[in-house]
Amino acid sequence: MMSFLKVKINKLIKNIDWYLKWVASIILILGICFRSTQQFPALDLMLSFAGCFLWTIVSLMWKDRAMIVLNVVATFVLAMGVVKLIGETV
């Protein structure tokens, strides 16, 4: 009986990477939407950074080297943009 409940719970609860990849994807889509309007570049930059950072975590969990390289580089480039943006507002 106990193992049946454990299997049932495991089917209902996804792994953390499942949640992270969907949150990251939604955040990136929002960033792209803001980019297309060209009215909120700071919000686009912040959302894109957050989405790429979360995808970096997911790619590390999956141990997928191509995704790790892509997302680490994207996160680094976007982080430089965030630093520049913060420097301009101070």
Mean pLDDT, to the nearest integer, of 60-84? 96
Look at residue 7 in the predicted model and tell me its pLDDT.
Answer: 64
Tens of pLDDT, residue by residue over 17-69, are 889 999 999 999 999 999 999 999 999 999 999 999 999 999 998 999 999 99
Q: Which amino acid type is present at position 64?
A: D
What is the pTM (predicted TM-score) of this model? 0.82
The runs of H, that is alpha helices, within 1-90 are 2-12, 16-37, 41-62, 65-89
Look at residue 3 in the predicted model and tell me its pLDDT.
Answer: 72
Look at residue 90 in the predicted model and tell me its pLDDT.
Answer: 76
Are 25 and 54 in contact, with CB atoms under 8 Å apart?
Answer: no
Look at residue 2 in the predicted model and tell me its pLDDT.
Answer: 64
